A and B are shown apart, each in its own frame.
Chain A
Amino acid sequence: MTLAYDAFKLHTFADAFRFMADNSGLMWQKTAEHLQISGEAMAIALVIAIPLGVWLGHLHRGSFIAINLSNIGRALPSLAVIAIGLGIFGIGTTNVVFALVVLAFPLMLTNAYVAVDGVDRAAIEAARGMGMKPHQILLKVEIPLALPLIFAGIKTAAVYVVATATLGGVVGGGGLGDIIVNQASYFLKGVIAAAIAVAVLSFAASFAFAALQRAVTPRGLRRRAKLIEPDVTTGVAEVATT
């Protein structure tokens, strides 16, 4: 076997934190790369998926595609998508960002669609009765009421994207995955340190979007925001941070 694996000792976890302190330059650099790759993917997915999902939901059209897309998206193994992306785009971060967009896009689209599509019809009727035009109904009624579910999709996607960006290490795509796949150089303590950093980053990303959600939600609707929100893609209540 050419793999060099460390033995696990009781002090390995303590060593992991010492590794972070001793290699703070490396950790910050890899964390910054990790954030950049994840951020690019999230930005691309957000810009395409949210407007598309909101628009389809507004029209109440395309439910079959919007709902089944998330099932297919969940089914795609990210490592396989990265492998194919590598064949198409070559070496670099592009194939990793591509795979992460493929991962995030369906989650965001489905949630945005279901959120807007499911807005109480009575509220829309009332808005129409007040003389609102369709675009006013969309901007002032449908989107504000749909925000919790839209953000549930974004938060779930953020956690998945940050965690999956680790796989970029396999193709030398940069980020904390570079440390995780290189136990031969960084030892088990380095792998654990990078894994902790990834977990912390994914929680931080989820909280950042939760804060954004609070900032963009009109004050009158804020009290309804809960920590636990239904995730439409599983049909089961899911804690917002996982």
Chain B
Amino acid sequence: MNPLPSLMLAAGSPPVIPNYGGPPGGKHGCIARNGTFCWGWVKMHWGDILQPRLLEHLQLTAIAVGIGFALAFAMALLAHRKRWFETPFGTFSAFLYTIPSLALFQLLVPFTGLTVVTIEIGLVGYTLLILFRNTLEGLRSAPPDVLEAARGMGLTRTQTLRRIELPLALPAISAGLRIAVVTTISLATVAAYITPLGLGQPIFYGLQTDFTTEFVATGALAIALAIAADVVLVVAQRLLTPWARGGRLRT
């Protein structure tokens, strides 16, 4: 399999053999020529390269968004209760967001090593800003007269949160989740720079071995995954919050 996750080759490392799959030449002339895109290679390696990496990619994304959402949601609830908390956490997550992903992953390596933990910490870090902001904005979107009415009905603060503010925040929260998922899918390709996991792995490996089909085909698969995830999430969002349909952009 592919042991090398990155372009950083130390001097004297063993020669790198591209994933040609079978003998070069023969009936796979495209592969032997190193053509831009060889469908034959994709068919040959769907089972042992593309599909497993795709599943890893989904797993990396799900874990990162899950943890990121739990963290950001708790922090947003706290900031909703205690207004002063918004600035420190907002600034912290915005600061994380400005660090280039390639650099952030490397910065974490001395602490957590070349492991999946490093990747997940980085990916979670990048989801915090959008999830925190959208959740907080959603919680604050309850109109004052509705909150007034809730108080008039004798609801406690917790009841108001559970029955009024949270349902009203759902459209903003689901919009944030959608952006977070798509962003994480994108960043998870970069994460393969550290650990050979996910769709970034064949991209980096292909770039390193100069075997074009491998990085072009995997790139196309990553793009297809991101668009598919976006479409699925839009549909889910519509079904989950039917009252928000019609779009906020139109007047």
Which segment, of B23-31, B47-55, B100-108, B150-158, faces chain A? Answer: B100-108
Residue B127 at the chain A interface, CB threshold 8 Å: no
Of A81, A159, A191, A234, the contact of B134 (CB 8 Å cutoff): A234
**Minimum CB distance partner of A121 in chain B:** B251
Q: Is the CB of A2 within 8 A of B249?
A: no
Specify which of B129, B189, B247 is in contact with A77 (CB 8 Å cutoff): B189
- Residue A38 CB within 8 A of the other chain: no
Q: Which residue of B lies closest to A83 (CB)?
A: B219
The answer to whether B37 and A87 have CB atoms under 8 Å apart is: yes
Between A170, A171, A183, the greatest number of chain B beta carbons within 10 A of the residue's beta carbon is seen for A170
**A212 interface residue (CB < 8 Å to B):** no
Q: For the side of the interface on B, what is the size category?
A: 35 or more
Smallest CB–CB gap between B58 and chain A, Å? 14
> Interface range on chain A: under 10, 10 to 19, 20 to 34, or 35 or more?
35 or more
In the assembled complex, which residues on chain A have CB atoms less than 8 Å from the CB atom of B97? Answer: 242
Q: What is the chain B residue whose CB lies nearest that of A199?
A: B98
Q: Which residues of B contact A71 (CB under 8 A)?
A: 230, 234
- Considering only residues 80-126 of chain A, those with a C-beta below 8 Å from chain B are 80-84, 86-88, 114, 118
A4 within 8 A of B: yes
0/1 string, A1-40, CB within 8 A of B gives 1:
1111111100000000000000000000000000000000
Q: Which residues of A contact B175 (CB under 8 A)?
A: 234-236
Counted as pairs of residues, one from A and one from B, with CB atoms less than 8 Å apart, the total is 176
A65 within 8 Å of B (CB atoms): no
- B62 interface residue, CB < 8 Å from A? no
Q: Which residues of A contact B117 (CB under 8 A)?
A: none
Q: Does A182 lie at the interface of the complex (its beta carbon under 8 Å from any beta carbon of B)?
A: yes
Query: Are A8 and B111 in touch, CB under 8 angstroms?
Result: yes
| Consensus secondary structure, chain A interface | helix
Question: Within residues 28 to 75 of chain A, which ones have a CB less than 8 A from any CB in chain B?
Answer: 63, 67, 71-72, 74-75
Contacts of A5 on B, CB cut-off 8 Å? 106, 109-110, 114
Q: A232 vs B175: C-alpha distance in the bound complex, in angstroms?
A: 12
Q: Which residue of A67, A114, A118, A170 contacts B204 across the interface (Cβ within 8 Å)?
A: A170
A118 to B247, CA, bound (A): 13
Interface: A213 (CB within 8 A): no
Compute how far the CA of A71 lies from the CA of B182 in the bound complex, rounded to whole angstroms: 9
Interface majority SS on B: helix, strand, loop or mixed?
helix
Q: Which of B7, B102, B190, B229 contacts A75 (CB 8 A)?
A: B229
Complex CA distance for A74 and B248, rounded to whole angstroms: 19
The answer to the question of A167 belonging to the interface, with a C-beta cut-off of 8 Å to chain B, is yes
B186 near A77: Cβ-Cβ < 8 Å: yes
Alpha-carbon gap, A30 to B5, bound state (A): 25
- Shortest distance between the CB of B217 and any CB in chain A (Å): 9
Q: For B204, list chain A residues within 8 Å (CB).
A: 170
Is residue A169 within 8 Å, beta carbon to beta carbon, of the partner chain?
Answer: yes
**Chain A CB within 8 A of B161 CB:** no
| Complex contact B186–A114 (CB within 8 A) | no
Q: Which of A3, A75, A232, A236 contacts B227 (CB 8 A)?
A: A75
State whether A192 touches B102 (Cβ < 8 A): no
Q: Mark B77-107, 1 if CB is under 8 A from A, else 0.
A: 0000000000000000010011111111011
Cα of A77 to Cα of B248 in the assembled complex, Å: 27
Least Cβ distance of A198 to chain B in Å?
Answer: 5
| Complex-state Cα separation, A109 to B250, whole angstroms | 17
Q: How far is the CB of B92 from chain A (nearest CB, A)?
A: 12
Known: A77-B226, A80-B189, A83-B215. A166 touches B103 (CB 8 A): yes
The 7 A-B residue pairs with the shortest CB-CB distance in the complex, in nearest-first order? A8-B110, A195-B103, A83-B219, A80-B219, A77-B186, A87-B216, A80-B222
